């Protein structure tokens, strides 16, 4: 396929932040580039996606999606879509899905797609039913919620964000390096969490749990965000600053998973299937998991875990004590778990689903 005749895959997003949603967008575009497609981003000029997209050579077309009632944004959007003529336009957040979804249909873009990342009630099914031909839901629970709220079931394709299983694998060298860097002893039990610091990630619950556990339990949150100063103050107030660290944002989270003994997934609302959760499952470590509908789905493939309710401190402590006795690495069991997780939630599986779905709607990707 000649480059100038290859499909042009364009993603839009209102978001200016950097998190799992934006990582998925950039990952899809990177993978489509590798398959010979042209790609582009229609995003705010000051967004992280704009910055990182340009770094990877992805064309960026700035549009301010801050309000559906901004005529200048609508004008810029129509001009951009008519000029670049995308084959596929994939929207992500509420504002850009209304605006870009509508503009794409009026400009007769061959395939309009929306990705729904979060498990939260929608305000209206109108934009879902009127604009996209395909809706990618990041979990079964998200699909079910959309359908219950009036979104046409025939449009919804379930595909969680794919994780690169080659990148996320246990390394004894990484384990030793990270534990040495943060002064974690061989006899310490390191309870870890990897996430952007947002309220629904439940990190305050981890801090409360740390304060109730014995001193040989150390805690680490790998991630950054605006909530970091608030969480660090909670750590000081709880008196656990000597055994609790927040690393700040890390571009290579894979090296930290190897250092953990137990993964504590504390999110309590709005999650699809978080990328960091799937990444953690590839390491085969014991899991302490707060019940949320989307997160229950991958646990069918997991051997060692304890389920608790968010903010149930007694259950969290009991769970950590129980999991601490089950930390041995059974490589055969871990290999089986990795194979099952990669088969359903791996990057290759995600791209195969997307390419197949495009093809079903007349867009061939080489």
- Could you tell me the residue range of the domain that residue 89 belongs to? 3-162+346-360
Q: Which of 18, 22, 24, 1 lies closest to 351, judged by CA?
A: 24
pLDDT at 2: 43
In a domain, 98, yes or no: yes
* Residues 226 and 328 grouped into a single domain: yes
Alpha-carbon distance values, 71 to 67, 68, 96 (Å): 9, 8, 14
* Residues 351 and 339 grouped into a single domain: no
Q: Which of 101, 18, 96 lies closest to 53, judged by CA?
A: 18
Question: Which stretches of 140-274 are DSSP H helices?
Answer: 140-148, 172-181, 203-212, 228-238, 254-257
* Residues 340 and 351 grouped into a single domain: no
* Residues 123 and 25 grouped into a single domain: yes
* Residues 211 and 355 grouped into a single domain: no
In a domain, 365, yes or no: no
Q: Are the C-beta atoms of residues 59 and 40 closer than 8 Å to each other?
A: yes
In a domain, 57, yes or no: yes
What gap in Å lies between CA 313 and CA 271, rounded to an integer? 21
Q: Are the C-beta atoms of residues 288 and 265 closer than 8 Å to each other?
A: yes
Ranges assigned E (strand) in 59-213 = 60-62, 88-91, 111-116, 134-137, 156-158, 189-194
Largest CA distance in the chain: 63
In a domain, 167, yes or no: no
Per-residue pLDDT of the chain (366 residues; tens, 9 = 90+): 444 679 999 999 999 989 889 999 999 999 999 999 999 999 999 999 999 999 999 999 999 998 888 999 999 999 999 999 999 999 999 999 999 999 999 999 999 999 999 888 998 999 999 999 999 999 999 999 999 999 999 999 999 899 999 999 999 999 999 999 999 999 999 999 999 998 889 999 999 999 999 999 999 999 999 999 999 999 999 999 999 999 999 999 999 999 999 999 999 876 678 889 999 999 999 999 999 888 888 998 998 999 999 999 999 999 999 999 999 888 999 999 999 999 999 999 999 999 999 999 999 998
Q: What residues have CB less than 8 Å from 360, skipping those under 6 apart?
A: none
In a domain, 339, yes or no: yes
* Residues 353 and 279 grouped into a single domain: no
Q: In the beta sheet, which residues pair with residue 116?
A: 137
* Residues 336 and 356 grouped into a single domain: no
Side-chain half-sphere CA neighbours of 303 within 13 A = 19
Q: What is the pTM of this model?
A: 0.87
pLDDT at 6: 95
* Residues 75 and 103 grouped into a single domain: yes
In a domain, 366, yes or no: no
Q: Give the three-state DSSP class for 62.
A: strand
* Residues 239 and 145 grouped into a single domain: no
pLDDT at 270: 65
* Residues 328 and 187 grouped into a single domain: yes
The CATH code of the domain that includes 19 is 3.40.50.2000
Q: Are the C-beta atoms of residues 190 and 223 closer than 8 Å to each other?
A: no
* Residues 37 and 117 grouped into a single domain: yes
What gap in Å lies between CA 346 and CA 218, rounded to an integer? 30
The count of structural domains within the chain is 2
* Residues 214 and 299 grouped into a single domain: yes
């Amino acid at each position: 396929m000649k480059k100038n005749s290859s499909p042009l895959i364009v993603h839009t997003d209102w978001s200016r932040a950097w998190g799992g949603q934006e990582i998925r967008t950039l990952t899809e575009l990177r993978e489509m580039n590798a398959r010979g497609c042209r790609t582009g981003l229609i995003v705010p000029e000051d967004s992280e996606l704009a910055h990182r997209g340009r770094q990877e050579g992805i064309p960026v077309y700035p549009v301010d999606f801050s309000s559906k009632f901004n005529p200048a944004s609508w004008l810029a959007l129509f001009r951009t879509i008519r000029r670049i003529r995308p084959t596929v336009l994939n929207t992500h957040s509420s504002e850009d899905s209304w605006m870009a979804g509508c503009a794409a249909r009026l400009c007769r873009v061959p395939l309009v797609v929306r990705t729904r990342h979060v498990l939260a009630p929608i305000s209206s099914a109108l934009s879902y039913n009127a604009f996209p031909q395909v809706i990618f839901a990041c979990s079964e629970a998200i699909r079910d919620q959309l359908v219950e709220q009036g979104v046409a079931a025939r449009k919804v394709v379930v595909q969680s964000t794919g994780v690169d299983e080659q990148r996320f694998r246990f390394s004894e060298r990484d384990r030793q390096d990270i534990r040495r860097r943060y002064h974690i002893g061989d006899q310490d039990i390191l309870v870890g969490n990897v996430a952007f610091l947002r309220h629904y990630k439940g990190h305050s619950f981890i801090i409360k749990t740390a304060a109730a556990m014995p001193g040989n339990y150390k805690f680490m949150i790998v991630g950054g965000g605006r909530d970091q100063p608030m969480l660090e103050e909670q750590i000081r107030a709880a008196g656990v600053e000597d055994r609790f660290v927040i690393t700040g944002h890390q571009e290579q989270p894979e090296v930290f998973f190897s250092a953990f003994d137990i993964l504590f997934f504390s999110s309590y609302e709005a999650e699809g299937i978080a990328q960091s959760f799937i990444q953690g499952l590839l390491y085969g470590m014991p899991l302490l998991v707060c019940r949320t509908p989307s997160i229950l789905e991958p646990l069918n493939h997991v051997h060692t875990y304890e389920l608790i309710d968010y903010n149930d401190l007694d259950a969290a402590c009991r769970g950590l004590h129980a999991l601490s006795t089950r930390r041995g690495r059974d490589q055969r069991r871990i290999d089986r778990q990795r194979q099952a997780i990669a088969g359903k939630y791996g990057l290759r599986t995600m791209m195969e689903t997307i390419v197949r779905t495009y093809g079903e709607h007349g867009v061939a990707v080489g």
